[in-house]
């Protein structure tokens, strides 16, 4: 877990608000025995490996944010994990001035809104709890590659602000990216460093299409631990402010 002590008060307060949103969504779902993952799988019957849930993904046409959930074969999953979310932002939702990174042997899609960027993966355990954040190589999602500083600028643009297929799931995933913002930023920079190292040690072929490199950075997470850390850091900030007065 990243040490959140030392982050500016406004950043901590935004993370704390997001954390409370995440917990509220989980609490409301738990009252009826539901989970965020269960919301997306509702009525689907058997869960098929690699299939996107929901079909056609979740896409907010106002913010141009997108996500889906899927499962790998059990033999390919980390122990205890069920599946994971992939989150994206499309160009019409990106801040001004962002352009795809110059990448060997890749021509970005020509459509105005097709060159989407993967933001972060969110792995879920069998109980429907978020347990890991991770980044991936380009071939994994077929994304257009953007440099880490640009992807960091995109994070605030990830908003799913509609009710389907699940209002609490949409609010949960939007808030989760804000709650774990420092970890996600760090993982994105680690992603680019991993790509550079791999390219140096594997000069044959194109690093972004190398099937031997799938996950480029990852970290375990806990909603409860992150919330406790945020609250502790905020209490310390407030004590210092009171002492200064």
For residue 25, CA distances in Å to 33, 149, 160, 161 come to 12, 30, 14, 14
Alpha carbon distance 28, 9 (integer Å): 28
How far, rounded to the nearest angstrom, does the alpha carbon of residue 234 sit from its chain's CA centroid? Answer: 24
* pLDDT recorded at residue 103: 85
In the predicted model, what is the mean pLDDT of residues 48-77?
A: 95
Taking only the tens place, the pLDDT of each residue in 127-165 is: 999 999 999 999 999 999 999 999 999 999 999 999 999
Structure tokens at 155: 């994070």
* pLDDT recorded at residue 96: 96
Alpha carbon distance 14, 82 (integer Å): 29
Tell me phi and psi for residue 236, to 5 degrees. -65, -40
In the predicted model, what is the mean pLDDT of residues 182-197?
A: 98
Q: How confident is the model at residue 47 (pLDDT cuts 50, 70, 90)?
A: confident
Higher pLDDT, 103 or 104: 103
* pLDDT recorded at residue 1: 64
Q: Check: CB of residue 135 under 8 Å from CB of residue 185.
A: no
* pLDDT recorded at residue 144: 96
Structure tokens at 202: 């594997």
Residue 238, classed as helix, strand or coil, is helix
Task: Average the pLDDT over each of 26-30, 110-114, 208-212, 224-228 and give the range with the smallest value.
Answer: 110-114
Alpha carbon distance 91, 99 (integer Å): 9
């Amino acid at each position: 877990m990243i040490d959140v002590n030392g982050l500016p008060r406004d950043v901590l307060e935004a993370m704390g608000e997001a954390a409370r949103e995440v917990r509220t969504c989980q609490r409301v779902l738990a009252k009826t025995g539901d989970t965020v993952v269960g919301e997306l799988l509702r009525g689907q019957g058997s869960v098929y490996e690699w299939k996107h849930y929901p079909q056609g993904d979740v896409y907010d046409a106002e913010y141009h944010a997108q996500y889906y959930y899927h499962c790998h074969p059990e033999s390919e999953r980390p122990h205890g994990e069920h599946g994971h979310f992939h989150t994206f932002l499309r160009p019409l939702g990106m801040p001004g001035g962002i352009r795809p990174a110059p990448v060997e042997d890749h021509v970005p899609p020509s459509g105005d809104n097709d060159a989407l960027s993967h933001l972060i993966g969110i792995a879920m355990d069998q109980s429907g709890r978020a347990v890991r954040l991770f980044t991936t190589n380009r071939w994994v999602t077929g994304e257009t590659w953007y440099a880490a500083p640009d992807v960091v600028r995109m994070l605030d643009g990830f908003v799913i602000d509609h009710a389907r297929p699940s209002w609490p799931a949409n609010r949960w995933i939007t808030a989760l990216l804000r709650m774990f913002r420092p970890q996600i930023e760090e993982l994105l920079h680690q992603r680019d460093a991993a790509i550079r190292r791999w390219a140096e040690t594997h000069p044959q072929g194109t690093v972004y299409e190398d099937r031997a490199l799938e996950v480029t950075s990852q970290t375990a997470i806990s909603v409860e631990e992150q919330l406790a850390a945020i609250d502790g850091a905020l209490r310390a900030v407030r004590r210092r402010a009171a002492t200064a007065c």
